[in-house]
Amino acid sequence: MIVCVCRRVSDREIARHARAGMGFDDIQFELGVATQCGRCESSARDVVAQCSGTCPSANMSLAAPLVSGQPWNTPAF
């Protein structure tokens, strides 16, 4: 959902930045949220508060190495 209509910033964008460890001030500077009319500030702060430290982040690991062999796009002669 769009939180900041003036800058067209969604709750997903705000949440993504908050999960990355950014605080409201950093997000405001980066995305421009709540810098024009200010009506979205409370909603944007709510999203940041919900996602800062409480939302689980993905624990990603590298994929297993590919089996050595012939690349898929080379002709077999």
- Over range 30-39, report the average pLDDT: 94
CA-CA distances (angstroms) from residue 58 to 20, 42, 48? 11, 27, 17
- Over range 33-49, report the average pLDDT: 94
Q: The CATH number of the domain where 32 resides is what? A: 1.10.10.1100
Range of the domain at 9: 2-51
Stronger pLDDT, 26 or 55, i.e. the higher one: 26
Residue 6, domain member (yes or no): yes
22, 28 in Cβ contact below 8 A? no
Residue 63, domain member (yes or no): no
- The whole-number pLDDT of residue 60 equals 46
Q: What percent of the chain has pLDDT over 70?
A: 68
CA-CA distances (angstroms) from residue 37 to 4, 33, 57, 60? 9, 10, 32, 38
Residue 68, domain member (yes or no): no
- The whole-number pLDDT of residue 55 equals 55
Q: How many domains does the chain have?
A: 1
